[in-house]
Amino acid sequence: MRRYGVLKLRAKTSVHLLTATGFAALAYDSFDSTNSFLNGVVRSSRALFAITSCVVDYKYSLHGLPDGSNEYGLSLSEIHLRSARRILKLCDANRGFYVKAGQFIAAMRRVPKEYSSTLTSLQDQAVPCNFKAIKEVIVNSLGKDLSEIFLSFNEQPVAAASIAQVHHAILRDGQEVAVKVQYPGLEYQMKFDLATMAFLSRAVSWLFPEYRFEWMVSEFTKSIASELDFIQEAKNSERAANNFKKNRMVRIPRVYWDMTNNQVLTMQFCKGQKVDDLEFFNRTGISSLEVAKALVDVFAEMIFVHGFLHGDPHPGNILVSQEGPNGFSLVILDHGIYKQLSEDFRKNYCHLWEALIILDSQKIQQLGKTFGVGKYARYFPVIFTGRTINSKSVLRRGMSPEEKKHLKEELKSIKAEDISSFMEALPPDFFTVLRTDGLLRSLISTLGAPQRIRLLSYAKCALRGLSPEATSGSVSAVLLMSRFKTRIKYIQLRLLLEVMEFIAYMNDIKRSLTMKFGKFILSAGDQIRSLCLLFVSAS
């Protein structure tokens, strides 16, 4: 009875909250004011109205529908789409950090597909800031007029995002540079918007405990705070460049420190086209498959070997230049969001992929406890390799029809509360890896490359990350034997991986030959029948 009273109170509260925020949003939308506080209230009211609408829609549209039923599944998909459209409308209206939050959600790939597909459009939506305001930021930050620093400065930005825009300029010594300038007034706006998002996530959790989003807001807050620090971005850029100094396929723009501070970042200007520009590849003869392979290899090395990961690899941050050893190279931009993976996590994540390669279910479950996800570790093979934990298929083969059917039935029992529990349990490092993995999957699909190139690159880099060469430091007598054993295990796993790939390759050849032989037999049979008919007609 008491539980019924609590639920009733929460239901009434949510309806009152929805009504109040609706009137607030409509009232404030009638104002056109530049006042920062009033603008913050308007933005917060819109957010409150949109999120409350979504939660109420979920709670009451699904009421009474049996979990796992076809009707429940269809209704849930429709609610996902309605809610995604509400959030898209909110991001379009509020701009700034809300666009960034929408991009963050879309990139996760662990959210329902209705959200990722709807919010993906935010990646290309950015309205440039007035150049007068941009010029003022540069002059105030660098302490000099533009003419004292630059020979020329293009007032039209070459790229614009939700928190900054980039201009092409030429220094007085003739060097081409890209000048990234932060929009004015962002710090105050960030505090207001993030406070609103934190409040909304707590309110939703109180009203409806099965819908918990604090983990998402927490990760977004960390991400956006680091992205606003241009000094840290410059340091990240230099560290990443040092990590890939021997890799001629990777180019990272050089930083001009004498023209860089918290609000202005000046870098070497690197030419190139977006990594998903298929028309450019067709025109220049660059293989999109080779681009996909190079892209995955770079980020796999970041994850498994360096433990220093670029957290925002969307198309605008990765360019393809026509200069390089194989006719192209990758230019990695925007180093604001990086994650330093802990050494324990990096090694455990390598071990996880080691277990995923050979499908060691016991090891996977054990690592699940280490990562804090417990029983949900059984879904690691599904998330990363497209196989179930009891699968017998080769690494790149995916699931059999029987496995798909069984998994579909199993997933019907998964509720929103289970997903929230899983995401809350993940360590921050794991969350970053999942997000980057989702972005890479999307890019690979866009480039028309098979997902197996990602699986094989991850597997090989995971094994490399476990090899003695991946660790640094002095070698003592105690460590010598340990490294020797690790080396032997590394060689065994590499051989196993190569054998698995060779078997898959031979199976492909076998199927191809079977098909060709079958066609040959059919063709030969047709010719024999034709000869027989000719012989009969002649006689």
Active site residue 57: no
What secondary structure, in 3-state letters, does 307-367 show? CEEECCCCHHHEEEECCCCCCCEEEECCCCCEEECCHHHHHHHHHHHHHHHHCCHHHHHHH
Tokens 């997933």 locate to: 411
Neighbours of 248 (CB within 10 A): 12
Catalytic residue among 276, 312, 429, 437: 312
Bridge-based pairing of strands 164-171 and 150-153 is antiparallel
The answer to whether 303 and 462 are in contact (CB under 8 A) is no
The answer to whether 268 and 218 are in contact (CB under 8 A) is no
How much is the CA Rg of the chain, to the nearest whole Å?
27
The answer to whether 333 and 265 are in contact (CB under 8 A) is no
In the numeric block, which tokens belong to residue 302?
């970041």
**What is the C-alpha separation between 443 and 441, in angstroms, rounded?**
5
Neighbours of 57 (CB within 10 A): 17
**What is the C-alpha separation between 426 and 437, in angstroms, rounded?**
15
In the numeric block, which tokens belong to residue 471?
């660790």
Could you tell me the maximum CA-CA distance found in the chain, to the nearest angstrom? 104
The answer to whether 269 and 176 are in contact (CB under 8 A) is yes
Which residues have C-beta within 8 Å of that of residue 123, sequence separation ≥ 6?
A: 103, 106, 314, 315, 316
**What is the C-alpha separation between 129 and 138, in angstroms, rounded?**
13
**What is the C-alpha separation between 369 and 145, in angstroms, rounded?**
58
In the numeric block, which tokens belong to residue 210?
């099965």
For the chain, give the number of residues.
539
One-letter identity of residue 123: Q
**What is the C-alpha separation between 246 and 262, in angstroms, rounded?**
30
One-letter identity of residue 293: K
Helices (H) and strands (E) in the chain, counts: 20, 11
DSSP 8-state assignment for residue 255: B
What is the sign of the dihedral through the CA atoms of 351, 356, 357 and 358? positive
**What is the C-alpha separation between 438 and 430, in angstroms, rounded?**
12
In the numeric block, which tokens belong to residue 176?
């081409």
In the numeric block, which tokens belong to residue 253?
């723009």
**What is the C-alpha separation between 117 and 7, in angstroms, rounded?**
33
- Residue 481: which of 436, 332, 489 has the closest Cα? 489
Question: Which residues participate in catalysis according to the annotation?
Answer: 312
